[in-house]
């Protein structure tokens, strides 16, 4: 896009994160860490807008070509609000920001972090538990807190699931799934998506996208694959969700962005044999795995949508809608104006 914002020293910055090169390793780590802590804390308080503002500011800093040494270098760069500027200034001047340090030490932040790291526990549940006076994982067990089957599995494998997954482990799981699909439906491809596809050396889970080159052949595949993996004792937990695309009444209205896609999927915990690392003594480690099945016609959009990052996807969709009047999701890209015309036309049929 044409309207790049010029920074002092000749730096330029495109307005959407999806237009910027955002390397994994960048020069402003202490600043982005501070801002992302505040983004996380805002998310814990249900302030999505505030959280997004801090995430945006961090994203801008990640794209800077060098280390920021004074606030002035940023110039009047949009995307970084008053509050974020104050945080940046504090960290630049003192090495830390008092507000961030306060957050990190607060009982609420620490408890929310502890609870939301349980597989199956979101901000709402964690917040309710905090309100009820729960503070530790032991509290959950001792007070007989009602847990879903997913949360029970999450708690049982808490330490493993919060140990980063290494790339080698992701590849080994990918091969196991590859083996399973070749048995169930030869020709099916398995693609490693998520953070690993972005080149991250480790992640919190393994995201695998399945598709078959012949349209329709993928129907029923997931349950067969999961059953086979299960029969090989590779699965510690799983719950699947059916494809809900067929149920869809029409395309999403342009404003109402759908975060969740409608592919058939399986949220699971794998039992991965390991030689070293934390699970070495018992010889295996629990790893979170997401399996997603996309029909070949939607595969490019599914792959794009499942590669992330979350912020990159959000920005890509915002760019499509604001700059191109198009709708992008994990299923398709289309011209929103034409869809509305079509809807108006169908509407006249009564």
d(CA 117, CA 111): 10
Of 68 and 272, which has the nearer Cβ to ligand CTP?
Answer: 272
> Smallest distance, Å, CB 256 to ligand CTP?
16
Of 98 and 260, which has the nearer Cβ to ligand CTP?
Answer: 260
| 23 upstream amide cis, omega within 30 of 0 | no
Q: Which listed range, 13-21, 90-98, 199-207, 264-272, lies at the site for Mn ion (CB under 5 A)?
A: 199-207
Q: Which listed range, 139-147, 151-159, 202-210, 295-303, lies at the site for Mn ion (CB under 5 A)?
A: 202-210
Using the rule CB under 5 A, which residue among 40, 73, 252, 290 binds Mn ion? 290
Q: Which listed range, 113-121, 232-240, 288-296, 330-338, lies at the site for Mn ion (CB under 5 A)?
A: 288-296
The kind and range of the H/E element at 286 are strand 284-293
User: Which of 267, 264, 262, 260 lies closest to 290 in space, CA to CA?
Assistant: 267
Cα-only R_g, the chain: 22
List residues binding ligand CTP (CB under 6 A). Answer: 194-195, 200, 203-205, 207, 260-261, 305-306, 308-310, 313, 330
3-state DSSP call for residue 239? strand
> Smallest distance, Å, CB 166 to Mn ion?
11
Of 90 and 313, which has the nearer Cβ to ligand CTP?
Answer: 313
> Smallest distance, Å, CB 193 to Mn ion?
8
Using CB atoms within 10 Å of the CB of residue 225, give its burial: 0 to 12 exposed, 13 to 18 middle, 19+ buried: buried
d(CA 123, CA 305): 23
User: Which residue's CB atom is positioned nearest to Mn ion?
Assistant: 194
Q: Which listed range, 79-87, 165-173, 198-206, 233-241, lies at the site for Mn ion (CB under 5 A)?
A: 198-206
Using the rule CB under 5 A, which residue among 36, 90, 169, 205 binds Mn ion? 205
User: Which of 150, 155, 123, 124 lies closest to 139 in space, CA to CA?
Assistant: 155
Q: Which does 313 bind (CB under 5 to 8 A by kind): ligand CTP, Mn ion, none?
A: ligand CTP
Q: Which listed range, 47-55, 133-141, 212-220, 282-290, lies at the site for Mn ion (CB under 5 A)?
A: 282-290
Q: Which residues are catalytic?
A: 205, 207, 290
Here the tokens at position 294 are 């996309």
Per rule CB under 5 A, is residue 305 in the interface with Mn ion?
no
CA dihedral 302, 308, 310, 313 (to 10 degrees): -60
Of 88 and 194, which has the nearer Cβ to ligand CTP?
Answer: 194
> Smallest distance, Å, CB 166 to ligand CTP?
11
Taken in order 82, 97, 202, 117, the sign of the CA dihedral is negative
> Smallest distance, Å, CB 307 to ligand CTP?
6
Of 90 and 205, which has the nearer Cβ to ligand CTP?
Answer: 205
Distances (CA, A) of 321 to 34, 55, 251, 337: 30, 20, 14, 11
Per rule CB under 5 A, is residue 194 in the interface with Mn ion?
yes
Q: Which does 309 bind (CB under 5 to 8 A by kind): Mn ion, ligand CTP, none?
A: ligand CTP
Of 40 and 99, which has the nearer Cβ to ligand CTP?
Answer: 40
Q: Which does 200 bind (CB under 5 to 8 A by kind): Mn ion, ligand CTP, none?
A: ligand CTP
For the chain, the distance separating the N- and C-terminal CA atoms, rounded to the nearest angstrom, is: 41
Q: Which does 24 bind (CB under 5 to 8 A by kind): Mn ion, ligand CTP, none?
A: none
Count Cα neighbours of 193 within 13 Å in the Cβ-side half-sphere: 27
> Smallest distance, Å, CB 333 to ligand CTP?
15
d(CA 233, CA 259): 32
Distances (CA, A) of 214 to 67, 178, 188, 330: 49, 17, 9, 19
Is residue 245 within 8 A of residue 263, CB to CB? The reply is: yes
Report the interface residues with Mn ion, using CB under 5 A: 194-195, 203, 205, 207, 290
């Amino acid at each position: 896009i044409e309207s790049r914002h010029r920074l002092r020293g000749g730096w330029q910055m495109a307005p959407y994160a999806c237009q910027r090169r955002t390397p994994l390793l960048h020069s402003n780590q202490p600043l982005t860490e501070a801002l992302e802590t505040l983004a996380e804390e805002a998310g814990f308080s249900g302030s999505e807008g505030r959280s997004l503002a801090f995430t945006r500011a961090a994203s801008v800093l990640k794209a800077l070509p060098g280390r920021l040494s004074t606030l002035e270098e940023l110039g009047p760069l949009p995307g970084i609000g008053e509050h974020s500027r104050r945080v940046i200034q504090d960290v630049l001047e003192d090495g830390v920001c008092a507000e961030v340090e306060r957050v990190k030490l607060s009982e609420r932040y620490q408890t929310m972090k502890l609870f939301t790291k349980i597989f199956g526990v979101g901000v709402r549940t964690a917040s309710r538990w905090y309100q009820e006076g729960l503070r530790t994982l032991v509290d959950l067990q001792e007070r007989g807190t009602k847990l879903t089957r997913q949360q029970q599995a999450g708690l049982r494998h808490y330490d493993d699931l919060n140990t980063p997954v290494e790339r080698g482990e992701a590849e080994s799981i990918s091969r196991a799934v590859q083996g399973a699909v070749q048995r169930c439906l030869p020709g099916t491809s398995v693609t490693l998506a998520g953070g690993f596809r972005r080149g991250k050396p480790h992640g919190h889970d393994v995201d695998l996208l399945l598709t078959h080159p012949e349209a329709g052949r993928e129907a029923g595949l997931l349950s067969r694959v999961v059953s086979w993996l299960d029969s090989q004792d590779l699965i510690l937990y799983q719950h699947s969700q059916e494809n809900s695309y067929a149920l869809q009444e029409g395309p999403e209205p342009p404003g109402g962005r759908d975060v969740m896609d409608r592919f058939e999927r399986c949220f699971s915990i794998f039992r991965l044999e390991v030689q070293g690392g934390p699970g070495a003594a018992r010889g295996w480690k629990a790893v979170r795995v997401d399996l997603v099945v996309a029909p070949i016609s939607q595969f490019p959009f599914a792959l794009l949508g499942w590669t992330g990052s979350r912020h990159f996807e959000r920005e890509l969709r915002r760019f499509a809608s604001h700059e191109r009047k198009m709708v992008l999701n994990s299923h398709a890209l289309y011209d929103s104006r034409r869809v509305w015309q079509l809807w108006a036309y169908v509407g006249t049929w009564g």
